[in-house]
Amino acid sequence: MAIILKRSSDFFASFFKLSVRLNENKVGKIAQGEEKEFPLTNGRSTLQVKQLGSKSNKLTVTDGDYIKINLASWVFWEFISLFILGVIVGNLTGPSQWISFSLIIIGFFIFNYFVDTFKLTKIDND
């Protein structure tokens, strides 16, 4: 019994491998653009991937499922917003600049902790 995961080759979050979890237990990692098979111990399991505090939706999987890992659609706009905020904050001077940069970075990680950055989708592999 096994499932197959296919990770997209999107640029964002491509520097680190995703941690693959079945029923909250880490079973391996998957790199950008990689297709990999993971064994199932139960007939039905809950799949989720994580990376540096970012996570995916939880998906119930069974033997033979083919799962595609993509980025959530809003991630592009998050980085556009971060770029714009960076330009604005870059025009500040003194301690307010460093405080603002710190708050943006902290806010980025907090935001990504509470939302699903990655999207798991079952694909028909007939």
Give the separation between CA 54 and CA 113, rounded to whole angstroms. 5
If we measure between CA atoms, which residue out of 47, 61, 60 comes closest to residue 18? 47
Tens-binned pLDDT, residue by residue, of the chain (126 aa): 899 999 987 766 567 899 999 999 999 999 988 999 999 888 889 999 998 888 999 999 999 899 999 888 887 788 888 888 888 888 888 888 888 888 888 988 888 888 898 999 999 765
Domains of the chain by residue range: 2-123
Look at the pTM and tell me if it is higher than 0.85. Answer: no
Give the separation between CA 112 and CA 105, rounded to whole angstroms. 11
